[in-house]
Structure 1
């Protein structure tokens, strides 16, 4: 069987290692961080074990369910009734179901009907090819009208994608609408899933299964170079030296690939370098009072420079209110490097705007996490921009979250891609 090196111990890397050892391959996972899990990894937040960046599960996430069943943790999936809200120009509105749409006062009846039809049709889609070269803004305006786009989407897109906001793929946004829209208990009730104990439950199960089957996980040891001889993978180089292997699966973000694999043809390096990413500064707040009754709240208010919040404790039952406040922005944006205290203070100011009953004394704890490559920018025609998983180098497969396109980032897509890459491992 093959000797496989896997770069990255996030959900995709761990799932790939699990499937590879299950096929009898000799597997070593290399991770630069001191813990496994990547974006799904937990940390100690004032005595609470919780994800660095929030995760939720939808009913369409079958690859995740299959993996959890294999690992013997299918009973850890918990489903909760959740809801969505909109905060527009200082007022709260319910959202996410037909009645809320009909009651929404900021659109005309015809605009509501057009928007409702557009959203409903996405939940019935079987494919997204017809939207591949369509701009999301144009698509929204065509179906629902310019006013509906301005009220519901414009500021959300601008605060997530900044200068790229008017050039995002309609196929990408449509898959997001379908995934959430089909995760329902009924037409009037959204239902989302969370793993009991958080995503660390899955991470721990994968790590234990990999090690029990003879796989090796090297934490705190990043791969510096994929070694290639005569067009074939021969090993990886770390700070400890060279280690031989005949197959490499890289789950590192595409911006790192050119330097990680110097033997790639220049055309391949250019393709990886052309994929743009948005960064995120994610503020995590533990509060004594709830902010809203919703799991997520979209925000369209000129005084608030975030597209929304995720009140995670309205999905995973926790002793205190826990809120993720994501600031998406390009890594080059001056605000990205501001001190953590700045973001906590601003986020708390926003919480008080959203709920005037919240005071400074209601803040129990805070944490600020940063990722420089958090969200791929998927423009129209993005599918043709993604390099093949199997590279021109024999034995080398590369994929990161942008490869899930038109699906968005998610543990289930990580699991699906991991299995696909393991099934393609060559033995020579």
Structure 2
């Protein structure tokens, strides 16, 4: 989001400085060297409805780098791999009654046709889903995803937020039976490098490994920022903060206490995302939902079934509250779990088939959006003239994603300089 805001500001003729605490750009979109392969630390994909993403690719002259793939979904249930993601797969699904299948299908169909999310804004998601699909389909198809993604937050989520996820994926289909998703050649690094170049060519300055320690406010007026390890204040007439909201009270402590309390109250889920490089495919699916009491994950993403690569790449995300006991476990413990889970799903994958495996963590991976979420957020235009504060929470009801980041970041930039 911050990079998109800087890109728009440069296009509009403003002088911009980007302060990035990490040694690379992108946040959750950033890539790393995975034993010779440059790839994202956390998985990303694109849908045909990602209009802001498609527009910026055109502007940057890299639209030809976007490729579309017909992908498949699967479901691991009752210790078997089943097809998923289309009406025929639903009808053939083992372990669910015909009535439950019909109710589930009707809910999915009408969710993709709905366009107005606001009637769902103050509705609790699990109750909304249960009323549509019934107890059986909820227990088999939805509850494990909620439990292993949201934990104790699962009973207090906005139906509008969950609906938006269903709607986006449902509308990635180009017919009733087939789904099409996109990827960038070179991964998200292709986009980040193009945006970085555009910002620098437009006179912008990008400063890596330079975390802002404090936004300086004096007598209710924005003064500028102070970088960690430095004593002087760098003056700016506008500051756009895109750090996770719970960090705001530490970085901008001079805001009114009532506003700081709102930032502190925003809940988030952390993630430990394990990525494995394999000699052998695990399944033919891009996305695999999982309902298995012996696997504490909602699913896995076999990324190489979207983006063809020299080896098979699988992402396995463990979503956890940061204060959950499991989050304190070592990376090695999560890596060992993933080895076991992959071999449970496909016993033909041997220990020798694992070429490399790596774990990445992100403390503020997923904002938790309860009913009426927008009314619980402070306005992103603060009462301090020239100070704007937002993170991925403000995409609501949409989920965090690259297209949403581009869209909202550019919106912030335009509004900040009206």
Q: Matched residue pairs, number?
A: 416
Q: What is the CA–CA distance in structure 1 between the aligned matches of 2:253 and 2:94, rounded to whole Å?
A: 57
Deviation at 1:168, TM superposition (A): 1.4
Cα RMSD (Å) of the superposition? 1.0
Q: Give the 3-state SS of the residue equivalent to 1:152 in structure 2.
A: helix
Which residue does 1:16 correspond to in 2? 5
Deviation at 1:135, TM superposition (A): 1.3
Q: What is the CA–CA distance in structure 2 between the aligned matches of 1:286 and 1:337, rounded to whole Å?
A: 25
Residue-by-residue CA offset, 1:96-117 (whole Å, 9 max, x unaligned) = 1011111113222222111111
Deviation at 1:337, TM superposition (A): 2.0
Residue-by-residue CA offset, 1:302-345 (whole Å, 9 max, x unaligned) = 01111100000011111111000100001111211212111111
When the two structures are superposed, what TM-score results if normalisation uses the length of structure 2?
Answer: 0.98
Runs of 4+ in 1 over 4 A off after TM superposition: none
Which residue does 2:144 correspond to in 1? 155
Which residue does 1:391 correspond to in 2? 382
Q: Is there any run of 5+ residues in structure 2 with no aligned partner, and where? A: none
Deviation at 1:229, TM superposition (A): 2.4
When the two structures are superposed, what TM-score results if normalisation uses the length of structure 1?
Answer: 0.96
Q: What is the CA–CA distance in structure 1 between the aligned matches of 2:64 and 2:43, rounded to whole Å?
A: 21
Which residue does 1:9 correspond to in 2? none
Moved more, 347-356 or 111-120: 111-120
Which residue does 2:399 correspond to in 1? 408
Q: What is the CA–CA distance in structure 2 between the aligned matches of 1:34 and 1:235, rounded to whole Å?
A: 22
Q: What is the CA–CA distance in structure 2 between the aligned matches of 1:231 and 1:89, rounded to whole Å?
A: 60
Match of 1:380 among 356, 368, 371: 371
Q: What is the CA–CA distance in structure 2 between the aligned matches of 1:404 and 1:74, rounded to whole Å?
A: 24
Deviation at 1:83, TM superposition (A): 1.0
Which residue does 2:94 correspond to in 1? 105
Q: What is the CA–CA distance in structure 2 between the aligned matches of 1:236 and 1:125, rounded to whole Å?
A: 44
State yes or no: 1:136 paired with 2:105.
Answer: no
Indicate if the aligned counterparts of 1:89 and 1:302 stay in contact, CA closer than 8 A: no
Which residue does 1:250 correspond to in 2? 241
Q: What is the CA–CA distance in structure 1 between the aligned matches of 2:345 and 2:64, rounded to whole Å?
A: 36
Indicate if the aligned counterparts of 1:97 and 1:188 stay in contact, CA closer than 8 A: yes
State yes or no: 1:179 paired with 2:200.
Answer: no
Residue-by-residue CA offset, 1:53-82 (whole Å, 9 max, x unaligned) = 010001110001111111111111110000
Deviation at 1:389, TM superposition (A): 1.1
Q: What is the CA–CA distance in structure 1 between the aligned matches of 2:78 and 2:90, rounded to whole Å?
A: 17
Q: What is the CA–CA distance in structure 1 between the aligned matches of 2:347 and 2:416, rounded to whole Å?
A: 56
Q: Is there any run of 5+ residues in structure 1 with no aligned partner, and where? A: 1-11
Indicate if the aligned counterparts of 1:248 and 1:395 stay in contact, CA closer than 8 A: yes
Q: What is the CA–CA distance in structure 2 between the aligned matches of 1:126 and 1:299, rounded to whole Å?
A: 29
Deviation at 1:133, TM superposition (A): 1.3
State yes or no: 1:333 paired with 2:331.
Answer: no
Residue-by-residue CA offset, 1:128-177 (whole Å, 9 max, x unaligned) = 11111111111111001011000001111111111111221111110000
Which residue does 2:410 correspond to in 1? 419
